[in-house]
Amino acid sequence: MPIILTGAALLVILILAVVWIVARRSRTPDVSQRLTEFAGRADAKASEPAAKQAMERIDSVVSKSKQGGNIARDLARADLKLTVAEFIGVKLLSAVGGVGVGLYVGRVNPAAMLAAGLVGAIIFSFAPNMYMNSRAKGRIKSFNNQLSDTITMMANALRGGFSFLQTLDMVAREAPPPMSAEFRRVVQEVGLGRSTEEALQSLLRRMPSEDLDLLITAVNIQMEVGGNLAQILDTIGHTIRERVRIKGEISTLTAQGRISAWVITALPVGLAIFISMVNPGYMAPIFTFGMPPDNWCCLPLASALMIVVGFFTIMKIMDIEV
């Protein structure tokens, strides 16, 4: 028990130190704050709650780092209305919850509680990332599935006499989400002064897709050298439609293997957690010092390593590029 209390105290001290460092760094005014003061809007800024101002300062500091930029990009892909600082706060809260779950699961002895608490904190801290990546992956998949119909709509609009920007605005108004949301952002960026090429490249960063890259490349070439863009879009739409069809067939054929990978991976882990909760003494020898073999940590570590290697091996076999 003293080991657990010491570990918990060190974790709290570490979190407080990180918050203090970020708050200290955020005292330096950035460009937006200086412009706000020169524009005469300092009173409106000062009227905001202190907690909101602190969160904005922390977010401005964290977002400037490379990792913060990646988090902001992933949040945009997943369409989550969170700032980088708020997302990091969710990760910290999840880690604290993971510590509590780990302490309960490994309550057989102090060593098991410490190990389970540490593992729980690590796993639960990645839970927000897993949700964000899963949501972003789902949006990108839906975007790719809608892209062929969207290209057909764009080609028909161009034949009807619409300009390219009017075509983008029509897609933003009539296409289903997430296609409408992403193209609406493109139209808004162009309206705020960005060029069409820059707005489309920003769309590609938010929605990484080979099909979208092909569309943007064709549009950029047509803007430079000219040509019948509607006919080009018809050809691209047919290519993308066939690629989506082939991907769907491959996904159907490999579904059994992917489900087997998840079942085989989750079965031993779930069974070990269930037995530890129902009968902690049964799992005690694995996490007890002095029991044969002397290297008590080898069995759980080797098991976890083999489970992870097996999962990624199966998923790599099932991952067929089109």
Residues 6+ apart with CB under 8 A from 313: none
Q: What stretch of H or E contains 181?
A: helix 179-191
CA distances from 264 to 105, 220, 247, 259, 310 (A): 22, 47, 25, 9, 9
Tokens of 277: 């909760």
- Would you give per-residue pLDDT tens digits along the chain (322 residues)? 444 444 555 555 555 544 444 444 444 444 445 445 444 444 444 555 665 666 666 666 666 677 778 888 888 888 888 888 888 888 988 898 888 888 887 777 777 788 788 888 888 989 999 999 999 999 988 898 889 899 999 999 988 888 888 999 999 999 898 899 999 999 999 988 888 899 999 999 888 888 889 889 988 888 888 778 888 888 888 888 888 888 888 988 899 989 999 999 999 888 888 887 788 777 777 766 554 555 556 677 788 889 999 999 998 988 887 6
Tokens of 121: 């904190």
**Quick count: other Cβ atoms within 10 Å of Cβ 303?**
14
Query: How far does the chain reach from its first CA to its final CA, in angstroms?
Result: 54
Of the candidates 106, 119, 137, the one whose C-alpha atom is nearest the C-alpha of residue 272 is 106
- The predicted-structure confidence for 46-74, as pLDDT tens digits, reads as follows 555 665 666 666 666 666 677 778 888 88
Paired tokens of 78: 């997943």
Domain segments of the chain: what residues? 2-125, 138-237, 255-318
Q: What angle do CA 88, 65, 191 make, to 5 degrees?
A: 95
CB-based burial, 137-168: b 16+ in 10 Å, e otherwise:
eebbeebbebbbebbbbbbebbeeeeeeeebb
What is this structure's pTM?
0.67
